[in-house]
């Protein structure tokens, strides 16, 4: 497949427009260039700094501040900005889109995005929401790299009316970017991601907030002794605040549902500690080991142990 | 200092007894040998397998199943088994100890350990509780390595009656093992560690448990999409169940106090999500970024970003 594409004179898309050039937008650009998936890449960024950086790094062939100008004539438009901006962007680009163009996004929530975007797109434009499960705590156009999506999952959430050819082309696009593609219902996506991503971020933000606010333990003590476990939470609690504010505002129902379960389970653990129920604690602590093994087996984590992240068996440095 | 020690004919201790040879015991052995801190190392382990492994790897010069036999004649005894075993071990070794011997431990809680151990030790034996803040999710005698304690903090919790020379010698021992040493009150230790270690572990165990129990999201979905953040929690939720059961049973008061604060803060976040208070979310998500920077600056974390733990900028594999 890769060879056939390389030999082919015609790229998969004539013009791909990236609306928003942060970690995901810049990585997409590099993944697109790696396989020659676009005749040209146009980008839209609000800040002059991001515009300049995008041109300097060769992430785009043309950069615009107006999303509509970037999207004009594109046969693939990818929304890569925080999900809170999608409604206004869709409204702006709608009139500029050609019939047959595919519009997708990389947002972490899907039902709210569909509500915000779909009404603004003209008939004949194929809107297929998407979400690559890849990223890090680092933001901005200089953080991107071509391999970000390799072996990661990308979820697409078409509906019953989605054009089969357009869907097939978008699946192929993501596969060429290195990802494995799953298709599911938007509502189910939002629930799954509430569990695997949104609640973990919320909890991480919360414990870091609680620790900073304690009167009886200083922040300098928290920092010094963070290797005891706290440190693991600070990575995702350093994620982009705007992006995550928008995620929680736009996936309220699923987040509150899973959070209710989390709090209920935590209350049961609290009770077990208060009453000294060692058996209940041991049972939970034993079965949570298995899921990590499964994650490692599935290639979504490395088995390299974390000895303070500096030991000889953890070659990070 | 290191040179003087190397030149000196006499090691810091004549005989060091390691009671329990898991990750910490085996790493201590290797750290002791690295600097020649002991004339000989004796070990005690309950299982035949651990006994054989300890001898095969040269972690000990002699191995016993009876802690008293291992501790006999030692001038430093280090309890390295789960804290729930310390009371019985102290009772067993008490009669075998010589006056002047130092007894310490590596347990994650300190007031409960003092209550369990101190009453069994004879007059003239110096009991100085300790806790090296280092470890990983991997257990057992084969997991150890000499550098585990390098640049990590070790907390000692002597009381007003502790012999100054014995304390000074133990501080020197840990420094020679690579650690930086802090001295604090046992009760404060337990509160600090509840924040930086115990509650993070409890929350990680809990979210992994909640995720496995959901009827609406399969475990295979949780595994596939774990790169969205969930994965970060599974590392510490794979820690040794016996050790962690004992931690929670033995640090009840501090854990419940911090857990109360965590739950209160989480309820406020829950309310902010329900009512769409984006400003409150953004404020929290912004200030939690700073603490990670401080942890990296303090050398307790690497700044290498985590791009799915497989990217070219995260050279773990």
pLDDT over 50 at A314, yes or no: no
Q: Could you report the per-residue pLDDT of A108-140, keeping only the tens digit for each?
A: 999 999 999 999 999 999 999 999 998 777 889
- Cα atoms in the 13 Å half-sphere on the side-chain side of A143: 18
Task: For residue B51, give every residue at least 6 positions away whose Cβ sits within 8 Å of its Cβ, in sequence order, or none.
Answer: B43, B45, B63, B65
**Inter-chain Cβ pairs, chain A and chain B, closer than 8 A:** 394
Residue B267: list chain A partners with CB under 8 A.
Answer: 263
Q: Could you report the per-residue pLDDT of A162-210, keeping only the tens digit for each?
A: 999 999 999 999 999 999 999 999 999 999 999 999 999 999 999 999 9
Question: From the CA of B72, how many Å to the nearest CA of chain A?
Answer: 32
pLDDT over 50 at B316, yes or no: no
Task: For residue B140, give every residue at least 6 positions away whose Cβ sits within 8 Å of its Cβ, in sequence order, or none.
Answer: B22, B23, B26, B50, B53
Helix axes A199-213, B199-213, angle to 10 degrees: 160
Q: To probe the interface with B, which of A153, A285, A312 has the most B CB atoms within 10 Å?
A: A285
Q: Are B127 and B103 in contact (CB under 8 A)?
A: yes
Residue A252: list chain B partners with CB under 8 A.
Answer: 273-274, 276
Residue B210: list chain A partners with CB under 8 A.
Answer: 195, 258, 261-262, 265
Residue A287: list chain B partners with CB under 8 A.
Answer: 209, 212
Q: Could you report the per-residue pLDDT of B50-100, keeping only the tens digit for each?
A: 999 999 999 999 999 999 999 999 999 999 999 999 999 999 999 999 999
Tell if the CB–CB gap between B270 and A256 is shorter than 8 Å: yes
Residue with tokens 């990680």: B204
pLDDT over 90 at B227, yes or no: no
- Per-residue pLDDT at A293: 84
Closest Cα in chain A to B221: A192
pLDDT over 70 at A2, yes or no: no
Could you give all domains of chain B from N- to C-terminal order, each with its CATH number? 2-184 (3.40.50.720), 188-297 (1.10.3660.10)
Question: From the CA of B120, how many Å to the nearest CA of chain A?
Answer: 24
- Calpha distance A156→A132 (Å, rounded): 9
Enter the pTM of the model.
0.86
Residue A9 burial (C-beta neighbours within 10 Å; 0-12, 13-18, 19+): exposed
Closest Cα in chain B to A184: B221
- Calpha distance B145→B55 (Å, rounded): 16
- Calpha distance B86→B244 (Å, rounded): 14
Tell if the CB–CB gap between A291 and B212 is shorter than 8 Å: yes
Tell if the CB–CB gap between B291 and A234 is shorter than 8 Å: yes
Q: Are A239 and B284 in contact (CB under 8 A)?
A: no
Question: From the CA of A94, how many Å to the nearest CA of chain B?
Answer: 27
Provide the pLDDT confidence category of residue B200 given band limits of 50, 70 and 90.
Answer: very high
- Calpha distance B130→B56 (Å, rounded): 28
The pLDDT of B216-224, averaged and rounded, is 91
Provide the pLDDT confidence category of residue B299 given band limits of 50, 70 and 90.
Answer: confident
User: Which residue of B108, B192, B202 is in closest CB contact with A269?
Assistant: B202
pLDDT over 80 at B202, yes or no: yes
The pLDDT of A46-53, averaged and rounded, is 97
User: Which residue of B208, B225, B236 is in closest CB contact with A153?
Assistant: B225
- Per-residue pLDDT at A311: 37
């Amino acid at each position: 497949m890769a060879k056939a594409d390389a030999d082919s004179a015609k790229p998969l898309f004539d013009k791909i427009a990236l609306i928003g050039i942060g970690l995901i937008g810049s990585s997409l650009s590099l993944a697109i260039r790696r396989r020659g998936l676009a005749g040209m890449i146009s980008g839209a960024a609000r800040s002059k700094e991001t515009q300049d950086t995008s041109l300097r790094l060769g992430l785009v062939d043309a950069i615009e501040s107006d999303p509509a100008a970037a999207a004009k004539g594109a046969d693939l438009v990818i929304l890569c900005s925080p999900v809170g901006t999608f409604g206004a962007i869709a409204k702006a680009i709608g009139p500029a889109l050609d019939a047959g163009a595919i519009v997708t996004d990389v947002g972490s929530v899907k039902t709210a995005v569909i509500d915000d975007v779909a009404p603004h797109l003209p008939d004949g434009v194929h809107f297929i929401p998407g979400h690559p499960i890849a990223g890090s705590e680092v933001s901005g156009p200089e953080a991107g790299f071509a391999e970000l999506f390799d072996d990661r999952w990308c979820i697409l959430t078409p509906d019953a009316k989605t054009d089969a050819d357009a869907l097939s082309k978008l699946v192929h696009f993501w596969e060429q970017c290195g990802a494995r593609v799953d298709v599911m219902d938007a509502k189910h996506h939002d629930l799954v991601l509430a569990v695997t991503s949104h609640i973990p971020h919320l909890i991480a933000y919360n414990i870091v907030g609680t620790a900073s606010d304690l009167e009886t333990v200083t922040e300098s003590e928290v920092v010094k002794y963070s290797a005891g476990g706290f440190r693991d939470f600070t990575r995702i609690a350093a994620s982009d605040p705007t992006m995550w504010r928008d995620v929680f505002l736009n996936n309220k129902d699923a987040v509150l549902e899973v959070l209710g379960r989390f709090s209920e389970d935590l209350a049961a653990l609290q009770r077990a500690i208060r009453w000294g129920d060692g058996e209940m604690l041991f049972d939970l602590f034993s079965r949570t080991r298995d899921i990590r093994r499964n994650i490692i087996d599935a290639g979504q984590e490395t088995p390299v142990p974390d000895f303070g992240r500096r030991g000889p068996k953890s070659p990070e440095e």
